[in-house]
Amino acid sequence: MAAASVGAPLLGLGGAEATLSRLRPPPPGGHESIPLRRSAAAVAASIPRRRESLRSAERASVASSRKTPTRAMLGFPSLCPTSLPSRQSRGRNNVRRRAPVAAALLELKPPPYPLDALEPHLSREAVEHHWGRHQRSHVDCLNAAIAGTQLEGMELEDMVVAAYNKGDPHPPFVHAAQIWNHDFFWQSMKPGGGGEPSGRLMELIERDFGSYERMIKELKHAALTQFGSGWAWLAYKANRLEVGNAVNPCPSEKDNKLVVAKTPNAVNPLLWDYSPLLAIDVWEHAYYLDYENRRADYVSTFLDKLVSWEVVSSRLENAINRATERAKVDEKRRQDDDVEATSRKPVEMYLDSDNDDSETE
């Protein structure tokens, strides 16, 4: 009945092979995939120009962050890779002042409402800081980190799984995952949100948690007991796990049910092949400007005043449809395997035995 709260960091299974080749296709109408793609030719043709553009944007981002003491105050880590050439290392003749470049491989996706729309529960200042600075920094850094790599041009959701690298994350992982997580987080809220869910979502909550109140209690517990930075999630555990990315955090749970989980840093349920339904950002930067260190007040306000159960319901329907389609594919694969195994069976031949009694008389 109760869903498992998952607190331990994920454990890698080892072995990096096949990570990129085993990516699942985007679910039909599934998670809110972030459109990133261009044609391969267009991407290849623009790489040199974009690399220089990203370096310029990177310099502008770093300069901007130096003017912002609140970044250090909120404990946001140093974001960008150190592999980018410094101005000095490129020589004086190559130093040019360029304006920051707006266009990049991946663009910062705005919340689906005005930045002041969540007031008085989340102030415009807090949203601007959270989205406009923190998330933007991840976008800038990811674009710089993936240029010219196998991750470039990949769907963001697939990039998260690939960059996690079975528990031995590549540097772009934190940026890709935090962008995905934040887009998902903003979409999880709406002005005038809160209340209680209805329809199939409520039915499954009552089935899997016993009651709505019990689910809220577990979700709050996950959000408040996540040590340090991280996320609390409501997710739909589908009928199979195939990513090979991490130890299944709910090995004893039944399939096709709702679960509550908490994750450290940028980790999210995509790594377990679960379908995330709701995300609560419990990094301090998410609430410090409005709630200081009162994480409990922030989490309660999120669930009472901001959460969009309509969005969660829509995600649940997509998750169930995805699980259903995958079950059909699994069944078809099993049938094909059975047919193939049968066709390979050697013909059994029964030879007359020397001891055949019928011939002894």
Q: Which is nearer to Fe ion, 152 or 183 (CB)?
A: 183
Q: Which two tokens stand for residue 50?
A: 């974009």
In the complex, what is the shortest distance from the CB of residue 282 to Fe ion, in angstroms, rounded to a whole number?
9
Instruction: Give the helix ranges, DSSP H, for the chain.
Output: 40-66, 69-73, 124-127, 136-146, 156-164, 172-187, 199-209, 212-225, 288-291, 295-301, 309-344
The H or E element spanning position 44 is helix 40-66
Q: Which is nearer to Fe ion, 209 or 231 (CB)?
A: 231
Q: Which is nearer to Fe ion, 34 or 202 (CB)?
A: 34
Under the criterion CB under 5 A, does residue 323 sit at the interface with Fe ion? Answer: no
Q: Are strands 275-281 and 230-237 parallel, antiparallel or unpaired?
A: antiparallel
Q: How many residues bind to Fe ion according to rule CB under 5 A?
A: 3
Q: Which is nearer to Fe ion, 140 or 281 (CB)?
A: 281
In the complex, what is the shortest distance from the CB of residue 182 to Fe ion, in angstroms, rounded to a whole number?
6
List binders of Fe ion among 243-302 (CB under 5 A).
281, 283, 286
In the complex, what is the shortest distance from the CB of residue 283 to Fe ion, in angstroms, rounded to a whole number?
4
In the complex, what is the shortest distance from the CB of residue 135 to Fe ion, in angstroms, rounded to a whole number?
7
Q: Which is nearer to Fe ion, 79 or 286 (CB)?
A: 286
In the complex, what is the shortest distance from the CB of residue 111 to Fe ion, in angstroms, rounded to a whole number?
12
Instruction: Give the helix ranges, DSSP H, for 188-245.
Output: 199-209, 212-225
Q: Which is nearer to Fe ion, 209 or 283 (CB)?
A: 283
Q: Which is nearer to Fe ion, 75 or 199 (CB)?
A: 75
Residue of minimal Cβ distance to Fe ion: 281
Q: Which two tokens stand for residue 346?
A: 């050697």
In the complex, what is the shortest distance from the CB of residue 185 to Fe ion, in angstroms, rounded to a whole number?
7
Beta bridge partners of 230: 264
211: phi then psi, degrees, rounded to nearest 5: -165, 165
In the complex, what is the shortest distance from the CB of residue 76 to Fe ion, in angstroms, rounded to a whole number?
9
Q: How far apart are CA 208 and CA 189, in angstroms?
A: 23
Q: How far apart are CA 226 and CA 265, in angstroms?
A: 10
Q: How far apart are CA 33 and CA 318, in angstroms?
A: 12
CB contact set of 189 (below 8 Å; sequence gap of 6+): 111, 118, 122, 302, 306, 307, 308
Contact residues: Fe ion, CB under 5 A = 281, 283, 286
